[in-house]
Amino acid sequence: MTRRRVLAAPCVDVAGMLDALRQNIDRADAMVCATEHQLERFTWGDANDDDDGGVEDRRLEHLSHLLGATKEAVRAAVYASGELAAELVKYRQGT
């Protein structure tokens, strides 16, 4: 018969670490939202200055897509960290 060694649980505050992770991700989400809001308010050149064939519009649209994708990724990470925290609580309680 093989004997298994039971390792002691590490002495780390997993819940605290996850909470800190969620707070940092929430902060990043807030910064992305603020940046997006500022870009929406920003005027890009003169409305009559359309000699560039809409290059500025395409750049702004590309930047907007990047910010949107970043915001979605951050929110998905917040959700995932919440799910992980809930599972850890269940595990710790033995359910």
pLDDT for 29 equals 86
pLDDT for 50 equals 55
pLDDT for 10 equals 53
Instruction: Report yes or no on whether pTM surpasses 0.85.
Output: no
pLDDT for 32 equals 86
Q: Of 44, 37, 43, which Cα lies nearest the Cα of 64?
A: 37
The end-to-end CA distance of the chain, in Å, is 29
pLDDT for 11 equals 59
Q: Of 5, 10, 24, 37, which Cα lies nearest the Cα of 78?
A: 24
Which regions in the chain score pLDDT beneath 70?
1-12, 43-53, 95
